[in-house]
Amino acid sequence: MRREEDRGRPGPEEPESRSGALTAAGAAHRALLDRGATCATAESLTGGLIGAHLTAIPGSSGSYRGGVVAYATDAKAGLLGVPEDLLAEHGAVHPGVAEHMALGVRRLLEADYGVAVTGVAGPDAQDGQPVGTVYAAVATPGDRTRVHQFRFTGDRAGIRYRTVEGALSLLDSVVRGSVEGSTRA
């Protein structure tokens, strides 16, 4: 159990997870540069960590357009165009929400690819979803999408960093062409 003064400090899983996230950011950046493409991010539970990792890569201005942190449910609808009826029926932690977030940020920031994450980092369940449930989506040119569900374990910091790594690995995979078409995983 953490002591009172330890609240808000990174959990024991963060350093290893952060290293993986930086590696994934570098791979995604290189894949985008190889294609002459750009990306934009829409983040909920990660609160800007995906954008922070992408901009930690030297030369990231050549591949990263920017991002939107839409933490509140109404921000997902208002800023990114997630349908309000989808949010009302399923809540913010749903594959369709991630898909609409990715499509919305791609259009909003005029990027070739949009990557989005929504999920539950903890400490409590949300929208009937257990802690560690995360949906990541990548929207491609032509508005095709790939959505992937993750089930992470660990503390809040670890889940957030593994989300960054997972989303950027998905982006890398889609950009490199190993995932085609409009599918959900």
Answer whether residue 2 is part of any domain. Answer: no
Q: What's the rounded Cα separation, in Å, for the pair 2 and 111?
A: 41
Predicted pLDDT of residue 2: 30
Predicted pLDDT of residue 38: 98
CATH number at residue 40: 3.90.950.20
Answer whether residue 3 is part of any domain. Answer: no
Divide the 185 residues of the chain into consecutive groups of 10 and give the mean pLDDT of each group. Answer: 32 61 96 97 98 97 98 97 98 98 98 98 95 98 96 96 97 83 43
Predicted pLDDT of residue 75: 97
**Is residue 65 within 8 Å of 110, Cβ to Cβ?**
yes
Answer whether residue 171 is part of any domain. Answer: yes
Answer whether residue 36 is part of any domain. Answer: yes
Task: Find the domain containing 106 and state its range.
Answer: 13-184
Number of domains in the chain: 1
Answer whether residue 4 is part of any domain. Answer: no
Predicted pLDDT of residue 19: 85
Q: Torsion angle of alpha carbons 101, 72, 91, 183, nearest 10°?
A: 10
DSSP assignment of 120-178, as one string?
--SSS-BTTB-TTEEEEEEE-TTS-EEEEEEE--S-HHHHHHHHHHHHHHHHHHHHTTS
